[in-house]
Structures are given as C-alpha cells and as structure tokens.
Amino acid sequence: MTKVHNFSAGPGILPAEVLKQAAEACLNFDNLNLSLLEISHRSKSFEKVMDESRELVKELLGLNEHYQVLFLGGGASLQFAMVPYNLLRTDGTAGYVNTGVWANKAIKEAKMIGNTVVVASSEDKKFTYIPKGFDIPASLDYLHITSNNTIYGTQIKSFPKTTVPLVCDMSSDIFSRYVNGNDFGLIYAGAQKNMGPAGATMIAVDERLLGKTGRKMLSMLDYSVHIKGGSMYNTPPVFPIYVSMLTMKWLKNNGGIAWIEKKNNEKAATLYSEIDRNSMFKGTTEVSDRSNMNVTFVMTKPELEAEFDKLTKEANLSGLRGHRDVGGYRASLYNALPLESVNVLVEVMQAFEKKFA
C-alpha cells in the first residue's frame, strides 16, 4: 500500500499499531468472539476499558486525587456550554481569552449562560499571536483559555499564573507536551486530534469546583451526574474511548510525554526552519507563538499554489490545505505523525523553490 503522509488537522493521524488493534477489536474484542461495536457498555470487558482510560489520563496529566475524568459525547463544542453551566455562578462572572474561532464559539455559549467578559484578545491582528501580560480579575469564577489554535497556528507556551480556576480547551495539543494538570481547574479535549477518532471528549475536572452555581442542573449537562455514573449515565461512545485508551497506552509504552514532546519539538523545528529559509513560503504567526501542532504558512507567490499542490499530491502528502477561513497551508504535526513525513514535505518545498524561485 502506498505510504500517505497525513497532515490532516482533524480527524488527525493515529498510530498504525493502534489502528490495527482497533480493527481487530471490531471483529473480536477481548476474545469474546463479539465485536467491540456490539457489546454492552456495561460488560466487564468494557468497564475495564473505561477504568484504564481514566487512569491513563490521570497519569499522563499528573492529576491528584481531587480530579475526576469523564469521557462524554458531543465534542468539545458541547463543552463550550457545559463549562459555564457547571462553573459559572448565577451571580458570578466568567473570563475568556479570545485567540480564534473556537475560543470565540466558547465565548458565545458562555454569554448565553451568564455574565461573561473577554479579558484579552488577539482579534486585532487576525489571531496571529497569543495575548500576554493581561489583567485577570480575582473575582472571576474561572478563566477560559484555548491552548492551541488549529486554524491560525498559534499555541500558548506559558500558561497564565492566577488564583482563579483555569479552564483550558486542549483539544488539539492534549498529551503533546508536558503540562501539570493540577494547575487547571478543568481541562477538556475532543479526541480527534491526538487521542482517537471523533465522537468522544475527555474532561478532567477538579470536583471541588462543582455544585456551586446556584442553578438547577439538567442531568445530561451536569458533570456531577456523569461522575456518579462513571461516564455511563447514558451509553458512552464505546469505540472512540477504546481507541483513545489504545493511543494513550501507545504513548505511555514509548516513553510518555517526555518522549513525544521531544519528537514534536523536532518535527516543528524542522518544518519552521524550512519555512523561514525558503524564499517561496512564509509563516503567518508571531514566531514566539508558533504552534508545534498546526504549522500555518502561505506562499510568497500565491499564483503558484496549483503547482505546489501538484507536487504535494505526487509525493502523497495529504491534508495540507489551510482552513477555509484563512487559506494558505497548514501542516498538522500531531503525535502520531512521524518525522519522516515532515522530511518529505520539506523535500517537496525545496524542490518547489528550486523549480520556481
């Protein structure tokens, strides 16, 4: 089978061995002679999967005993509403940092739940940088940030220091670098970038923050209900959770966060070095805020995009076109993408420069 280099922004690339194990489980899971897709989520075999998944999250994020881990449906977009619904008091205020499309959507949902203020924004420069040094009111119920911005290619390198509970959408860089999970009141992440297929969202929440909003809670939107139900208040997304567990085991068995952070740094440095060197391309974000997960760039001669696209196709490079809102190119360097794929892209960029510069 022809090797395809998958730079898709999401759903993103997964480890080959994980895909193989997941495929096998679809035919015969846990030697039951039943498919993972048809067993009961209440079976002991799947309960083991759920328990191991939660423990792996706690281990990889270094979480202490105050944290509960959930796997829910609805994507990170549902968390835009669940976070303020569970953490924003009826007479309180939530703070948000606006760094792009997804942060903007989170702000929109929060404003429908209660009083919400934007404490910092990079909209003035089309989200090409990460705001820094802004004031964080001590009275906030929480401060919401987005650690990595897939569309614009920016990433928070140093998280705000605050006594306010920090809430972070880590959908596109979860488990890609070291973070101390205990520095956050709540972390959430859609699975389909670095964990698994679309359909499951991981939430790690300090349970001491819950039950203080002063509102009557709808059961399906109440973190406490899902915690009590072990993420099984309703039927969980079994397959995405299982694949997420396999991916976390793959990460742990290969050396964990320290191992993958080193690899991710090498991949990003390789590609950014070529973008900065190559006369045919230029980056789109502030250098200090460049994302290690989503590398965004444009051509210095946009009229030649079709020629570059032709070369990438011939080299079996997939998923490189930028988001429809910004255009250009975006190479997503998620955990499972090997350095080999980045090197192939760099070779194509060099060949392009040689031919057209």
Q: How far apart are CA 182 and CA 124, in angstroms?
A: 32
Domain that holds residue 294: 256-356
Contact indicator for 10, 193 with CB cutoff of 8 Å: yes
Q: Where are the beta strands (DSSP E) in 110-175?
A: 115-121, 142-146, 148-149, 154-155, 166-169
Query: If you search the block for the tokens 């440095």, which residue do you land on?
Result: 269
Q: Could you tell me the two tokens for 139? A: 């009275």
From 193, 206, 250, 267, the catalytic residue: 193
- The percent of residues in the chain predicted with pLDDT above 90, rounded, is 96
pLDDT value at position 326? 84
Asked if 102 is an active-site residue, the reply is yes
Same domain, 230 and 301: no
**For residue 55, is it within any domain?**
yes
pLDDT in tens, 94-153: 999 999 999 999 999 999 999 999 999 999 999 999 999 999 999 999 999 999 999 999
Which residue has 């502030």 as its token pair?
286
Measured CA angle at 235 (ends 181, 211), to 5 deg: 50
DSSP 8-state symbol, 81: H
The answer to whether the beta carbons of residues 294 and 149 sit under 8 Å apart is yes
Give per-residue pLDDT as tens, 191-208: 999 999 999 999 999 999
Say yes or no to pLDDT of 1 above 80: no
- In sequence order, which residues have a C-beta less than 8 Å from that of residue 125 and are 6 or more positions away? none
**Residue 30: pLDDT band by 50, 70, 90 thresholds?**
very high
- If asked whether residues 216 and 263 sit together in one domain, one would say no
What is the Cα–Cα distance from 74 to 115, expressed in whole angstroms? 24
Within-domain flag for 218: yes
Burial class (CB in 10 A: 0-12, 13-18, 19+), 223: buried
Does residue 317 sit in the same domain as residue 245? Answer: no
Domain check: are 261 and 114 in the same one? no
Together in a domain, 223 and 317: no
Q: How many other C-beta atoms lie within 10 A of the C-beta of residue 309?
A: 14
Same domain, 164 and 147: yes
Does 5 reside within a domain?
no
Burial category of 230 from C-beta neighbours within 10 Å (exposed 0-12, middle 13-18, buried 19 and up): middle
Predicted pLDDT of residue 323: 87
pLDDT at 324: 83
CATH number assigned to the domain comprising residue 229: 3.40.640.10
Mean pLDDT of the region 42-52: 94
Looking up tokens 């009826």 gives: 90
List, in sequence order, the alpha helices (H) in 117-222: none
Catalytic entry in 102, 141, 222, 289? 102
Per-residue pLDDT at 357: 87
Q: Are residues 199 and 164 in the same domain?
A: yes
Residue 30 is among the residues annotated as catalytic for this protein? no
Mean pLDDT of 79-94: 98
Global pTM? Answer: 0.97
As a whole number of angstroms, the distance between CA 55 and CA 37 comes to 23
3 is annotated as an active-site residue: no
What DSSP element (H or E) covers 97?
strand 93-98
The answer as to whether 175 is a domain residue is yes
Query: Is 202 in the same domain as 327?
Result: no
Taking residues 80-98, what's their average pLDDT? 98
Catalytic residue among 169, 173, 222, 289: 169
Reported as type and span, the H/E element at residue 206 is strand 201-206
